[in-house]
Structure 1
Amino acid sequence: MRTTSQRKIALITGAGAGVGRAAAQAFARAGYDVALLSREPERLARAAAQLQAAYSVRALAVPTDVADAQAVEAAAARVERELGDIDVWVNVAMATIFAPLSSISPHDFERATQVTYLGQVYGTMAALARMRTRNRGAIVNVGSALASRAIPLQSAYCGAKFAVRGFTDAVRSELIHDGLDVHISLVDLPAINTPQFDWAANRTGQDARPVAPVYEPEVAARAILFAAQHRRRTLWLGWSTVRAIIADLIAPGLLDRYLAHAGYRGQLTGHPRAPDVPDNLHAPVPGEIGAHGRFDREARNGGAPLFTDRHVHALMGGVAMGVFGVALAFARLRRQARSRR
């Protein structure tokens, strides 16, 4: 049932900081009432209050651990009681650990997977439980360039994002089969300047950083809003995302070897990491932490092209033609070599 305000309602997970916080601001600016889910209650309440004051919308803070399916369901029920029907559900929340696999405990790997992958599963379940009965709504799952090309030191995160991509594709087919007017999108992001590089669990002994080029979280937020409003199947953000995906299609083995060296250099600053730095893997880090990380000097606030379904198909067609051309040339060379014998 539509609320008296007649505004659409967006629920964003991971809304206390980073991309989730920027996404909440983008939806509020666009006129949505917003529900903010995250673990740290004080920071979440402040974020909601700021949105209410800045955009004159209703903003509801619901402290929630998205790795807890029952908590996610309870949060969805509360949002619909207090705000009304959820029109858009955005799954942003993530937690990760920077380390080679040999330095990650099963407990830590499990937790990163629960938040980054199962958090999106539980969010989609809660959203669909409501959107199915109304036959309307949009779900945006946030993926990554690393959902198509994994890199070292991020096996937990990459594995979870690969899983998000497969899960989203499967659910999309089910919605089409059932003839529902509920849309699910996947937005793959490049490196984003968020606090995760300071508060993510880190076993490398060095401070971590995003792999350049780096974009501000507002760029990602605009892409997420676009996907929700224009019901895009897939959206790739930035040339770096496209390059990573296409390079893995063309020369995955070569890329494995390249990343064995560049993947370490590109993610580690060389500055020693203090052993007592708190991380947010198992518990939230308190304090006023916003959308941005510490890379504002190099992060771009624009210039990241959006590649939607039509662009992706054209790019894939070009890649396929290129690979086919290389295969033909190689076959021709082999025939010429045999004819000389």
Structure 2
Amino acid sequence: MSRISVVTGASAGIGRAVARRLAARGDAVALLARGGEGLAATAEDVRETGATALPIEVDVADFGAVDAAAERIEKELGPIDLWVNDAFSSVFAPFEQIGMDEFARTTEVSYLGYVHGTRAALSRMRPRDHGVIVQVGSALAYRGIPLQSAYCGAKHAVQGFTESLRVELLHEKSNVHVTMVQMPAVNTPQFRWVLSRLPREAQPVPPIYQPEVAARAVLYAADHPKRREYWVGGSTALTLAANAVAPGLLDRYLAWQGYGSQQTDEARDPHEPANLWSPADGSPADGRGGGDAGAHGAFDDQAKSRSLQLWASQHHGLLASVAGGLLVTAGAAWAATRR
């Protein structure tokens, strides 16, 4: 019997890659996003594997619409087993160049969108005492960087919200689990979609990973949800470690490097679509169709298709055992030299 999975932000990027991977393993996949063209293309990706797709155009900032989508999913597909929150939007600009309405909109989509998806899923999973919610996070949930204050604030909020909910579920001894996957820079179309006021084209801070790496991490987390979170990419681990040990030093490094590392050498195209208020991949009927963007962005030539850190995060128990064994062996060898 196939599992029923839901992915928000499913029309492109990580959400698109996650939907493809869920379909490949046989899940029926409900696809939630605003962009009609991207949704239709993702649904076709899913159906090509022989799996069932249910595309639903919805703005995750609207809880009523998200809850209605969840109700439709359960009526048409069955009880939801997995809900993946991934939808977001943002603004690339210094804080004082971001309008307060733009900041609020980013928060509504990138933070409250996760809250809305979680509530819609939880209200159906909790009575059955079964289900998994995966929050697609970021290293920026722990470490703010310049030019992304709205997005960093939203990811920090998702982190705190998820920790609070996780403890409540543990207190109830619930069999519903929530986990978070902290992502590195990923090669997605967002860097040509997100509203930008930078002089040059926005780019992910290298090293950059392909969305399929992120998708593998999400599915592993979905299948092993008792771990509170997973880190993807060595850059994520290094960033979080540096922020824990020397945050002030990291502040100064980012003040020095954080502006240039988020921009290419190419001047920004002022006519690029921005998806803050409406989808960049609209539907033909609304006259805003920007075309299907797929899962990948413009950085295929730089992006990595594997992550050693992801493997380490998935096998931390094995690595701890090996490290312990090496310490015991080293200790025994040292003791032998003292005899």
TM-score by length of 2: 0.88
Match of 1:296 among 291, 294, 300: 300
Q: Which residue of 1 aligns with 2:337?
A: none
Q: Which residue of 2 aligns with 1:324?
A: none
Q: Distance in 2 between matches of 1:277 and 1:261?
A: 28
Q: Which residue of 2 aligns with 1:326?
A: none
Q: Distance in 2 between matches of 1:230 and 1:20?
A: 19
Q: Which residue of 1 aligns with 2:21?
A: 26
Determine if contact 1:191/1:213 at 8 Å carries over to the other structure. yes
SS of equivalent to 1:139:
strand
Q: Which residue of 2 aligns with 1:57?
A: 51
How far the C-alpha of 1:311 sits from its partner, in A, is 4.1
Cα pair distance change 1:309/1:290, threshold 3 Å: closer
Match of 1:150 among 122, 129, 144: 144
Q: Distance in 2 between matches of 1:64 and 1:11?
A: 13
Q: Distance in 2 between matches of 1:201 and 1:46?
A: 23
2:189 matches 1:185: no
Q: Distance in 2 between matches of 1:210 and 1:164?
A: 21
How far the C-alpha of 1:310 sits from its partner, in A, is 8.0
Determine if contact 2:189/2:295 at 8 Å carries over to the other structure. yes
Q: Which amino acid aligns with 2:300?
A: D
Match of 1:79 among 73, 78, 83: 73
| Residues 312-323 of structure 1 aligned to structure 2 (within 5 Å) | none
2:255 matches 1:251: no
Match of 2:6 among 4, 11, 14: 11
1:149-180 Cα distance to aligned partner (Å, 9 max, x none)? 11100001111000010000000011111121
| Residues 190-339 of structure 1 aligned to structure 2 (within 5 Å) | 190-231=184-225, 232-286=227-281, 287-306=291-310, 307-308=312-313, 311=316
Q: Distance in 2 between matches of 1:106 and 1:310?
A: 43
Q: Distance in 1 between matches of 2:169 and 2:292?
A: 40
Cα pair distance change 1:114/1:304, threshold 3 Å: farther
Q: Which amino acid aligns with 2:18?
A: A
SS of equivalent to 2:111:
helix
Q: Distance in 2 between matches of 1:101 and 1:145?
A: 20
How far the C-alpha of 1:269 sits from its partner, in A, is 1.2
Q: Distance in 2 between matches of 1:42 and 1:187?
A: 27
SS of equivalent to 1:132:
helix
1:105-129 Cα distance to aligned partner (Å, 9 max, x none)? 0011111111111100000000000
Q: Distance in 1 between matches of 2:14 and 2:89?
A: 13
Determine if contact 2:80/2:131 at 8 Å carries over to the other structure. yes
SS of equivalent to 1:266:
helix
Q: Distance in 1 between matches of 2:237 and 2:307?
A: 14
Q: Which amino acid aligns with 1:202?
A: S
CA RMSD of aligned residues (A): 1.6
Determine if contact 1:234/1:309 at 8 Å carries over to the other structure. no
1:202-228 Cα distance to aligned partner (Å, 9 max, x none)? 011210000010000000000000000
Q: Which residue of 1 aligns with 2:104?
A: 110
How far the C-alpha of 1:299 sits from its partner, in A, is 0.3
Q: Distance in 1 between matches of 2:142 and 2:30?
A: 30
Q: Distance in 1 between matches of 2:44 and 2:316?
A: 39
Determine if contact 1:233/1:309 at 8 Å carries over to the other structure. no
Q: Distance in 1 between matches of 2:58 and 2:306?
A: 31
TM-score by length of 1: 0.88
Q: Matched residues, percent identical?
A: 51
Determine if contact 1:111/1:281 at 8 Å carries over to the other structure. yes
2:60 matches 1:66: yes
Match of 1:164 among 158, 165, 186: 158
1:224-283 Cα distance to aligned partner (Å, 9 max, x none)? 000001113210011100100010111111111110021111101132112221100110
How far the C-alpha of 1:56 sits from its partner, in A, is 0.7
Determine if contact 2:61/2:108 at 8 Å carries over to the other structure. yes
Q: Which amino acid aligns with 2:280?
A: V
SS of equivalent to 1:248:
helix
Q: Which residue of 1 aligns with 2:327?
A: none
SS of equivalent to 1:235:
strand
Moved over 3 A (4+): 307-312
- Range that drifts further, 300-309 or 41-50: 300-309
Structure 1 portions without partners, runs of 5+:
1-5, 319-341
Structure 2 portions without partners, runs of 5+:
282-290, 324-339
